[in-house]
Amino acid sequence: QGQLVESGGGSVQAGGSLRLSCAALGFVSRISMAWFRQAPGKEREGVAVIFSGGAYTYYGDSVQGRFTISQDSAKNTLYLQMNGLKPEDTAMYYCAADHRPGNWYQADSWNSWGQGTQVTVSS
């Protein structure tokens, strides 16, 4: 089992952009990866997923059209480009990985998690 290390969070004003990164270290076989977020007092929410090989991506309804998930296989790094940020996007963002996730939007489908990176959007 490998390790996931996120970076790129921060504070921005509404309408701004951020790019999150997640380095996947030590995974020996192909994995699928996803971004989740969790706001205080709320459940962890699936934001976006990219399935092994990068052929398929899916997004949560609340971020569709604003966020883009991508990966650099050579660098074993996952990205989340977030544009048009809104105050309701404020949360801790987590990177997740698994060899064979079930329902991608459910947190318990993923075995490996990063430590999280905070995103704060002010109005």
Query: Which pLDDT value is given to residue 29?
Result: 78
Q: What is d(CA 42, CA 105) in angstroms, rounded to the nearest whole number?
A: 15
pLDDT, residue 21, reads 98
Beta bridge partners of 119: 10, 91
Walk along the chain (123 residues) and give the pLDDT tens digit of each residue: 789 999 999 999 999 999 999 999 988 778 899 999 999 999 999 999 999 777 899 999 999 999 999 999 888 899 999 999 999 999 999 999 998 888 999 999 999 999 999 999 999
Phi, psi torsion values for 99, nearest 5 degrees? -75, -30
HSE at residue 91, side-chain half, CA atoms within 13 A, is 21
User: Would you state the pLDDT for residue 99?
Assistant: 87
CA distance 96 to 84: 23
N-to-C CA span, the chain = 40
pLDDT score at 84:
98
